[in-house]
Structure 1
Amino acid sequence: MGYLKTALGLFLSLLILTSVSFGQGKKAPPPPPGGFPTNQGLSTNSEAPNFAYETLNSGKIKLSDYRGEYVLIDFWGTWCKPCLENMPYLKEAYSKYSDDITFISVAADDNKQAVVNYVNDNDIPWTQIVVPLKADKPVEIIEKYNVRSYPSVFLIDPNGVVLNGAQSPKAKNKLKGDNLIKTLGEVLNK
């Protein structure tokens, strides 16, 4: 029994020493082509990418049509619990600031009827775009806005410049929950 403990101890010591010295002198592998992926979202003060889509109510929408206005873009899905938890805050923000900010939601959802039902059941009055969640290739608007998690909310100023682009967790949380109303009020000086 004592022999087994000693042998096991020696084996583990040798294993630790070998693994510590094994990787010394090696360089880190080079970054992948195109570099490492950046954080999600867009950089603050960057130009917001234009887009053109059909809306849920069969209208057409282009971001460039809203130059001269603040625009809030919310990426969400009916399958996303945090998105649904943020929806009451968006509704409150809309009721408070819809005269000053255009609200657009982009539902990344493979079930368009689920989006229609949710929007109708919850009396969501602002413009909705529905894009597929699981597509063969990335959906253009999701790719342009570098959306990697949901919800992702972007605030764009009247010049088409990103004020808050979900680039970091701290910035991302400025447009969620109670912080949403506070941030919009600060931006509008209200």
Structure 2
Amino acid sequence: MPAFEIVALYDSDRAITPSDFEGRYVLLNLWATWCAPCIEKIPDLREARRRYPPERLAVLNVSFDRSRSKATALLEKREMPGRHAHAGGGLMGEFGDKFARMPSESASGEVRGLPNLTLVGPEGTVLDMVAGDSADVLETLSEHL
């Protein structure tokens, strides 16, 4: 997994880094309030939390909303398990550039879009990447965990 430091959604003075998740699987969930398929994934995230305890699976939800307040307002209404961060630069910003692109033949890469989920193993290796509204999060988790 690429190194990163991202600002916590609720506490902009706090940074989240990969070392926060050492020894656990990490489900990196890139989402936004304007992404209807992202919101539709929330029940799957809740089920994942029910199946896999935080000691085994960490969930890091990264909002790509321009406004932090829009993301926090949605989270007040809907329970999205895990830790929350904010990628202020959007999909093309520093964090988005590392995680929202999939390898391709072209030098520029392709943006995978949202929803965008990456499963990282306890050793820090990317195990699976799923994107789009047809992505089956629970199936991906059951294959690897």
TM class by smaller structure: 0.7 to 0.9
Instruction: Report the alpha carbon displacement of residue 156 of structure 1 after superposing the two structures with TM.
Output: 0.2
Q: Give the helix-richer structure, 1 or 2.
A: 1
Instruction: Please give the secondary structure, in 1, of the residue aligned with 2:41.
Output: helix
Give 1 or 2 for the bigger CA radius of gyration: 1
- Residue identity matched to 2:10: N
**1:104 alignment partner in structure 2:** 60
Give runs of ≥4 in structure 1 deviating > 3 Å: none
Gaps of 5+ in 1: 1-47, 167-171
Q: Is it true that 1:143 corresponds to 2:97 in the alignment?
A: yes
Aligned-pair CA distance for 1:139: 1.4
Equivalences, count: 132
- What CA deviation, in whole Å up to 9, does each residue of 1:124-155 have, x standing for no partner? 231111123659xx311100113420011000
User: Does residue 128 of the first structure (1) align with residue 97 of the second (2)?
Assistant: no
* 2:20 paired with 1:65: yes
What is the distance in 2 between the residues matched to 1:140 and 1:134? Answer: 8
Could you tell me which amino acid in structure 2 is paired with residue 66 of structure 1?
F
Aligned in 2, Cα 1:126/1:134: closer, same or farther, shift over 3 Å? Answer: closer
RMSD over aligned Cα atoms: 2.3
Query: Residue 186 of structure 1 aligns with which residue?
Result: 143
Which ranges in structure 2 are unaligned for 5 or more consecutive residues?
Answer: 102-110
Partner of 2:104: none
Conserved 8 A contact 1:157-1:163: yes
Mapping for residues 37-48 of structure 1, pairs under 5 Å: 48=1
The answer to whether the 8 Å contact 1:50/1:64 transfers is no
Q: Report which of the two has the higher share of strand.
A: 2
- Offset at 1:84? 0.9
Tell me how far apart the structure 2 counterparts of residues 134 and 153 of structure 1 sit (CA, whole Å): 16
C-alpha distance in 2 between matches for 1:61 and 1:132: 14
- Identical residues among aligned pairs (%): 28
Shift of 1:82: 1.0
- Which residue pairs with 2:2 in the alignment? 49
Letter in 1 for 2:125: V
SS of structure 1 residue aligned to 2:84: strand
Contact 2:128-2:140 within 8 A present in 1 as well: no
Distance in 2 separating the partners of 1:74 and 1:134 = 14
Q: Is the Cα–Cα contact under 8 Å of residues 90 and 96 in structure 2 kept in the other structure?
A: no
C-alpha displacement at 1:69, in angstroms?
1.0
Q: Hey, what's the Cα distance between the residues in 2 that align with 1:57 and 1:98?
A: 23
Counterpart CA distance in 2 for 1:114 and 1:154 is 23
2:50 corresponding residue in structure 1: 95
8 A Cα contact 1:53 1:129, kept in partner: yes
